[in-house]
Structure 1
Amino acid sequence: MNAANDAWPWRAALAELVRQTRLAQPDELAGEVAAAAGPLARDAWIYLVDQEQRELIAMPRPGAESPPSLPVETTPAGRAFMAVEPVAQPGRLWMPMLDGTERLGVLELVTGGDARFDDEDFLAGCDLFSQLVGHLIATKIPYGDALLKVRRRRRMSEASELVWRLLPPLTFVSRRAVVSAILEPCYEVGGDGFDYAADRSSLFFAIFDTAGHHLRAGLGTAVVLAAVRASRRSDEGLAEMARAADRALEEYLPELRFTTGVLAELNLESGRLRYLNAGHPPPLLLRRGRVVRALAAGRRMPFGVADPHLEIAEDALERGDRLLLYTDGVTEARDRHGEAFGADRLAVLAERETGQLPAPEALRRLCHAALAHYDGPPADDATLMLVEWSAEAVRTMLPVPSAAPD
C-alpha cells in the first residue's frame, strides 16, 4: 500500500472494487464487494430493499450462508435505510446504499471492535464505498436477473414486467427539487405509470392510469409514455404532448377505452406551475405540512378521446411546497365494510404521514398506511407521486456523515 493509501486506506478499497467488478456478472457483485472491503472490514453484505419496501434482503454470494432478511421498520439496518444515515452498532456499521439519491438498500460493514465511528474520515470513506456499490448495482441490473430476483418475493405479472422496465427510477433529486413515486401492488401493476425529466430550469412530471387491467392496460400506458416522451424530446409543449398521446392510442390501441393522467411543468427558478388534467384525480398541494387545496383546473378529456377545448392551467408554488399526485386506485379502494378510502382521508393521511420526512420515506409510509385500509390486496393499481420544490429538501436526501453506536 503506498503513502496515499496509508493516509486514506479507503482509496485502495475503492480502486480494488472498480477493478474487480469491471467484468463481474450481476450475481458476482456481492462477493466482489466483500473481497474489496476485506482490508478495512472483516466482512461486508449487500442488503437490497424488497419491492414493497418492507424488508432488506441479503444478496447471496458463493460459499457463504446468507443472513436473514431484516424488517425495515424495526431494525438498525432499516433505520439507516429510512433516515438515509449511517447507523452504528458494536462491531458493525450500516450504511445507506443509494444510486445517486435512489434508495436501493443498505451495506453492512462488519468492523470488529476497533472501528472509530466518530472518525469523520472513516465515515466519509464508508460513505464513498457504499455509494460506489450503489452505482455498481444500478449499472449491473440490466445484464442479468440476480439483482432483480433478490428483491422479489413472488412472480411478477407480464404487465408489471413491461411497466417497471419503462419507468424512470423511483426517486430523483436535484439542487432545487425532489421527485419520488411508489406503485402498488408492485407485482401486479397494470395501467399505472409515471414519468419525469429535469432540464435547465424546467421540471416535467406526469402520472398516468390506463383503464382496464393486466397486460392490455400496461400496453396502453406504454404507448402513452412513449408518445409523451417523443413529443417532449422534440421540444413540444404540454398541449402537443397530450395530442400526441391521443393520436398514439387511436392509432395503435383503438380498442382501449382511454388513459387518464396529469402532465405538468414546473419552473425551478420561479415556482411557476403549468399543468393539464386529462380526466384524472386532481393533485393535492401541501404547504408547510398541510393540504391547502386541490389543483382542479386545466381539465380536458382523457387521453385517447380527442378534446379541442384543451386548457393549460397555471399556479404559483412557494419554496417548500409539495404536490401529491395519485391514481384512483388509492381513493377508490374499499375496506371490509365497503367504505371507499376517499380523497379526504388521503389528505388527512398525507398531512399525518409526510410531515417533514424526505419524500421517498414519506411516500413509503403513506402508501403502507393506505394499504392497511384495504380489505385484502388492492383491486386496482395504486400509485402515489410526490414533487417538492425546495433546495432545503436535498439535505435530507443525502447520507449524514455521522453515526453514534446504539
Structure 2
Amino acid sequence: MTSYFDLRALLERVEAAAPIDAVTAVADELATLSGATEVSFLIADFSGHALVRLGTATRAPDGARVQGVEHAETLRLEGTVHEEVLRTQQAVVQRSDDGTCVIVPVTDRGDALGVLELVLPEPPDEQQLADIAAAGHALAYVIIANRRHTDLFEWGQRTTPFSLAAEIQRRLLPSAFTCEAGQFTLAGWLEPAATVGGDTFDYALDRDSLQVSITDAVGHEVGAALLATLLVGSLRNERRRGLGLDDQTRNANDAVATHSAAGEFVTGQVMRVDLHTLEAQIVNAGHPFPLRLRDGRVEEVELAIDLPFGVEAGTGYRLQRFPLEPGDRVVFVTDGMQERNAASLDVAAALAATASMHPREVVHELGQAVLRATGGVLRDDASVVCLDWYGGPPRERDSRTGASPRLASR
C-alpha cells in the first residue's frame, strides 16, 4: 500500500494561502497527491439540518448563494450518505461510472464540522483511505485556525439571515458545540425562536474541572440578547479569574442587577464537576430541573430553587451536590423545551428514545422533536446540553481522526 498523504506539504500550502483560501489549498494539495478529479468541503450549517458546499467555481450551482466569487450550495442532510458519515464518523466509499466517491468526516474532539468529499479515478486501498481520513481530521484544524481571520465559513453556515439579536446571541455560545474527553462527552444545541429569546449555554474544561452552564434571559430580541451578554460575560470573567462557583454566581448576579433595568433577570444553572474527586456541585437560579437518564430510566433531578440572576443584588447561591454515577446521561434544558407551544413535547420520552445516540445527535434529535411539536414555529428559544458521564480518573480518550469510534451513534 502506498501512502500519498504528506502532512507537511499540506500545512505549508495552507500557510502560504490567504485564510479565505485555506480549504481550496487543502483541496488542491489533496488533488495533486491523490489524483482526485474533484475535492470539496461541505460545512454543517447552523440549523443542523443541512450541509453547505463551499466553492469558487466560475458558475455557481442553481440556487446557490453567491457573494463575490464565493458560492454556497445548501444540501439536505436527512437520509443522505453525508448524514451517515456524520453520525457514524466513518468513511464511506461509493463506486459509480464516473469514478469512486470517498466521503470522510471533518471532526475535532467529537465536534463534527462537516465532511470532505473526493472523487477518485480508482477505489482507494486501505492505506489511502486512512490517509484521506487523516486529511479530513487535519482539515478540521485548518478550519478552526483560519475561521478566526475570515467570515467565509460563518457566511457559509448561515443558510438563513441573522437578525442583530441573533448575531449577539451567537457570540455568546462556545466555539465548539461538542467536546469528547476521557471522563465525559458533552454537547449543546440551541433552536432559536422566530424572535430571539435570550438562551445561552457554555462550558469550559481545565486540568481540575469541567464547568457547564445553561441560561435563559427574560424577554426577546436585542434586549434579551444584551441581558444574556451581561450574565455570560460576567460568569466567564469570574471563572477566568479562578474564583469558585459560589463567588462566580454571586458576582454575576450583582453584575446583572447593577447593569440591567428593573424587572430584568436571567434564570440558569451552573455546574462544576471536580475531575479528581468526581463530585459535582450546581447552582440553580430559578431554572427548570435537569433530566437524568440512568439505567434506562429518565427522571428529573430535583434541586432547591434560588432567585434568578439579577433579581436582587447581594444574593448568595447555594452550592448543591449533584449526584453523578458512571453511565449517567444528564440533560439541561431551557423552558422553551417545555412551555408555550412546545408544551406537548414529552421531553423525558424523547430523551429515553435517544439512549443509543452520541450526545451531539441527542441534542439535535431533541431540537428536532421540539420543532415537530411546534410545527416548526418556536415561540421561545429551546436550548439543551447533554452530558454523558463516564467517571474514573482523568485520562486520554480513545480517538480516531477526531472522534471516538466506540461513542458514535449506531
Q: TM-score range by the shorter chain?
A: 0.7 to 0.9
**Residue 79 of structure 2: aligned partner:** 74
> Which of these residues, 194, 197, 202, is aligned with residue 195 of structure 1?
202
**Residue 86 of structure 1: aligned partner:** 91
Asked whether the equivalents of residues 239 and 248 of structure 2 are also in contact (C-alpha less than 8 Å), the reply is yes
**Residue 322 of structure 2: aligned partner:** 315
3-state SS of the aligned residue for 1:113?
coil
Shift in CA distance, 326/159, structure 1 to aligned 2, threshold 3 Å:
same
Measured after TM superposition, the shift of residue 357 of structure 1 is 1.0
Measured after TM superposition, the shift of residue 300 of structure 1 is 0.6
Quick check: 203-212 or 392-401, which moved more?
392-401
Deviations 1:165-210 (A, max 9, x none): 2321211121111111000127854411111111123111010100
Asked whether the equivalents of residues 176 and 391 of structure 1 are also in contact (C-alpha less than 8 Å), the reply is yes
What is the letter of the counterpart of residue 130 of structure 1?
A: G
Measured after TM superposition, the shift of residue 65 of structure 1 is 4.9
3-state SS of the aligned residue for 2:129?
helix
Asked whether the equivalents of residues 280 and 323 of structure 2 are also in contact (C-alpha less than 8 Å), the reply is yes
Asked whether the equivalents of residues 330 and 382 of structure 1 are also in contact (C-alpha less than 8 Å), the reply is yes
Shift in CA distance, 256/26, structure 1 to aligned 2, threshold 3 Å:
farther
**Residue 382 of structure 1: aligned partner:** 382
> Which of these residues, 109, 115, 125, is aligned with residue 131 of structure 2?
125
**Residue 325 of structure 1: aligned partner:** 332
Once residues 365 and 228 of structure 1 are traced to their aligned partners in structure 2, the CA distance between those partners, rounded to angstroms, is: 29
3-state SS of the aligned residue for 1:379?
coil
Measured after TM superposition, the shift of residue 235 of structure 1 is 2.3
**Residue 346 of structure 1: aligned partner:** 347
**Residue 362 of structure 1: aligned partner:** 362
Once residues 215 and 373 of structure 2 are traced to their aligned partners in structure 1, the CA distance between those partners, rounded to angstroms, is: 23
Once residues 7 and 113 of structure 1 are traced to their aligned partners in structure 2, the CA distance between those partners, rounded to angstroms, is: 14
Asked whether the equivalents of residues 181 and 383 of structure 1 are also in contact (C-alpha less than 8 Å), the reply is yes
Deviations 1:316-353 (A, max 9, x none): 31112111000001101416xxxx236xx10111111x
Shift in CA distance, 139/400, structure 1 to aligned 2, threshold 3 Å:
same
**Residue 21 of structure 2: aligned partner:** 28
What is the letter of the counterpart of residue 135 of structure 2?
A: F
> Which of these residues, 44, 50, 56, is aligned with residue 51 of structure 2?
56
**Residue 235 of structure 2: aligned partner:** 228
Deviations 1:9-38 (A, max 9, x none): 202xx3332122214334323322221111
Is residue 2:259 matched to residue 1:266? Answer: no
Measured after TM superposition, the shift of residue 395 of structure 1 is 5.1
**Residue 137 of structure 1: aligned partner:** 143
Asked whether the equivalents of residues 195 and 220 of structure 2 are also in contact (C-alpha less than 8 Å), the reply is no
> Which of these residues, 172, 179, 186, is aligned with residue 179 of structure 1?
186
3-state SS of the aligned residue for 1:142?
coil
Is residue 2:255 matched to residue 1:248? Answer: yes
Q: Give the count of matched residue pairs.
A: 383
Shift in CA distance, 114/294, structure 1 to aligned 2, threshold 3 Å:
closer
Shift in CA distance, 250/199, structure 1 to aligned 2, threshold 3 Å:
same
3-state SS of the aligned residue for 1:10?
coil
Measured after TM superposition, the shift of residue 290 of structure 1 is 2.6
Once residues 204 and 167 of structure 1 are traced to their aligned partners in structure 2, the CA distance between those partners, rounded to angstroms, is: 14
Is residue 2:160 matched to residue 1:154? Answer: yes
Asked whether the equivalents of residues 328 and 389 of structure 2 are also in contact (C-alpha less than 8 Å), the reply is yes
Deviations 1:259-316 (A, max 9, x none): 000011112344322111000001111113431x322224210000237463221133
Once residues 188 and 263 of structure 2 are traced to their aligned partners in structure 1, the CA distance between those partners, rounded to angstroms, is: 25
Quick check: 293-302 or 210-219, which moved more?
293-302
Structure 2 unmatched runs, 5+? 63-72
Measured after TM superposition, the shift of residue 394 of structure 1 is 5.6
> Which of these residues, 35, 40, 43, is aligned with residue 45 of structure 1?
40
TM-score for the superposition, normalised by structure 2: 0.87
Asked whether the equivalents of residues 46 and 157 of structure 2 are also in contact (C-alpha less than 8 Å), the reply is yes
Once residues 179 and 376 of structure 1 are traced to their aligned partners in structure 2, the CA distance between those partners, rounded to angstroms, is: 26
3-state SS of the aligned residue for 1:207?
strand
Once residues 252 and 75 of structure 2 are traced to their aligned partners in structure 1, the CA distance between those partners, rounded to angstroms, is: 43
Structure 1 unmatched runs, 5+? 1-5, 402-406
**Residue 108 of structure 1: aligned partner:** 117
Shift in CA distance, 87/281, structure 1 to aligned 2, threshold 3 Å:
same
What is the letter of the counterpart of residue 87 of structure 2?
A: M
3-state SS of the aligned residue for 1:369?
helix
Asked whether the equivalents of residues 193 and 379 of structure 2 are also in contact (C-alpha less than 8 Å), the reply is no
Shift in CA distance, 280/376, structure 1 to aligned 2, threshold 3 Å:
same
> Which of these residues, 390, 398, 401, is aligned with residue 403 of structure 2?
398
**Residue 226 of structure 2: aligned partner:** 219
> Which of these residues, 299, 313, 316, is aligned with residue 305 of structure 2?
299
Once residues 275 and 327 of structure 2 are traced to their aligned partners in structure 1, the CA distance between those partners, rounded to angstroms, is: 12
Once residues 142 and 187 of structure 1 are traced to their aligned partners in structure 2, the CA distance between those partners, rounded to angstroms, is: 28
Deviations 1:108-156 (A, max 9, x none): 011223322xx1x223211221111111112222222221111112210
Shift in CA distance, 232/163, structure 1 to aligned 2, threshold 3 Å:
same
Once residues 383 and 391 of structure 2 are traced to their aligned partners in structure 1, the CA distance between those partners, rounded to angstroms, is: 25
